[in-house]
Structure 1
Amino acid sequence: MKQALVKYILPWLAYLFLHVWCRTLRVSNLSPENEAYFNNLSGRYIMTHWHSRIFFLLFYFRGRKDWNILVSPSRDAEVLARLGKLLGYTVVRGSSYKNTLAASKELLKALNRDERVVVVADGSRGPRHVAQVGSIQMARITGAPLIPMTFGARPRHEFNSWDRFVLPLPFSKVTLNFGTPITLEKKVGEALIEEKRQELDRQLNAITQEVD
């Protein structure tokens, strides 16, 4: 019974909840030109955001079958993984702590097929709002542009979790924001990789502050 609840009932309830909740929101975009950039790209790219901003972004980009999202392989994330599939995404199970190598290979294969990948910049456990190097390395290996994204909401509720997870309240105003693409060549040194990681960190924090 518990298995059926996690596999079938809860994902559909979450799907219905997300649709009903998010359709009450008033949405605007602070950087439409940056969104137009990746929407007009014919090839691969990597989208990245803070862990706290999953809720609305998961709904906003629904139905994009060539978007591969990384979801933790833990039991706690099983409902999220199945919700992602219901929303039309391709789900890859893995995190920086478990199933890392296999998940990374699947994401790289997707990028090499000219599909798109979405990763959480600060990972599944943080530290909060500190970009990890994983998405930078994927961009380096594949040559795919890395695009920061976020949203803000007023009014909203912030959970008392490690990431301060953001839930827009019904009928609140949601503002999207996108950064400028980050690119780097395949053969670069560790110093430049760290420089790009810091650039991603700065961009994500800046575009998040703009909408908060």
Structure 2
Amino acid sequence: MRKKFARALGLWILPPLIWSFMWFLFITSKKRWNFNGKFPDSPVVILFWHGELLLAPFIYAKLDTSRKLNVMISDHFDGEIIARVTKLMGIKTIRGSSRKGAVKALISAIKSVKEFGEHVAITPDGPKGPRHSVSDGAVVIAQKAKIPIVIVNCHPEKYWQASSWDKFTVPKPFGTIDFYISEPIYINDMTKDEAKLYLKERMLKYAV
């Protein structure tokens, strides 16, 4: 009962606190936007590393798109906290991961793209790692839906880094953050393994 109460309290208190902290870091930081191409007028799969999760949602607001965004989030307690934070930012969620509910999540993601024309965002090394690995999900969605992939990175000059598996990165206030947005990447003609290796190399280019 005590654990259940603590979790319920955490789900009520933590999301608005995290949301406020995210805005504090974003507002107090100098932003440099590095955009290597024109954002496509179509749904895309947006990829970013799990360790760069904290300020990644702000990139979506910068993109020239009116399409809704769905973020794939693991179906556990930490994922529920993240889901509630993203909801505060006007972002939808698809629950599931490569470890739990993978097939259901992939079907939901492909449906959101094909039927509703929405973007899908994924941390390909989440929810448990290994760090900077690329799971099958992003490749499957992009190839099945025949849409491009856009890679985003959040690279602060000064930051704290957790000892967790993903080396979760928290920018220090009043610093400078480089936000990188790639050109559309098409992987329809690649094998799954070729696409995963290529995407990993591209994602590591500006990783923290």
TM-score under structure 2 length normalisation:
0.88
% same residue: 25
Structure-1 separation of matches of 2:43 and 2:183? 16
Pairing of 1:1-212 with structure 2 (within 5 A): 2=6, 4-30=8-34, 32-34=35-37, 37-38=38-39, 41-61=40-60, 66-112=68-114, 113-185=116-188, 192-208=191-207, 212=208
Q: CA RMSD in A?
A: 2.0
Structure-2 separation of matches of 1:46 and 1:75? 25
Structure-2 separation of matches of 1:154 and 1:182? 27
Asked if 2 retains the 8 angstrom alpha-carbon contact of 1:18 and 1:59, the reply is no
1:203 corresponds to which letter in structure 2?
R
**Aligned-pair distance for 1:58?**
2.2
Would the alpha carbon gap of residues 114 and 165 (structure 1) be closer, same or farther in structure 2, given more than 3 Å must change? same
**Aligned-pair distance for 1:101?**
1.4
Per-residue Cα deviation, 1:48-93 (whole angstroms, up to 9, x for no partner): 0111111111234359770000111101222111111111001111
TM-score under structure 1 length normalisation:
0.86
**Aligned-pair distance for 1:4?**
4.6
2:57 corresponds to which letter in structure 1?
L
Name segments (4+ residues, structure 1) moved above 4 Å. Answer: 62-65
Q: Which runs of 5+ in 2 are unaligned?
A: none
Matched pairs, number: 200
- Secondary structure at 1:207 match in 2: coil
Asked if 1 retains the 8 angstrom alpha-carbon contact of 2:36 and 2:182, the reply is no
2:175 corresponds to which letter in structure 1?
S
Structure-2 separation of matches of 1:174 and 1:140? 32
Structure-1 separation of matches of 2:22 and 2:67? 18
Asked if 1 retains the 8 angstrom alpha-carbon contact of 2:110 and 2:145, the reply is yes
Structure-1 separation of matches of 2:25 and 2:169? 14
**Aligned-pair distance for 1:19?**
1.3
- Secondary structure at 2:53 match in 1: helix
Q: Which runs of 5+ in 1 are unaligned?
A: none
Structure-1 separation of matches of 2:134 and 2:7? 35
**Aligned-pair distance for 1:3?**
5.3
Of the structure 1 ranges 71-80 and 60-69, higher mean CA displacement relative to structure 2 is found in: 60-69
Per-residue Cα deviation, 1:127-176 (whole angstroms, up to 9, x for no partner): 11122221011111001101111111111111101011111000111001
Asked if 2 retains the 8 angstrom alpha-carbon contact of 1:62 and 1:89, the reply is no
1:88 corresponds to which letter in structure 2?
G
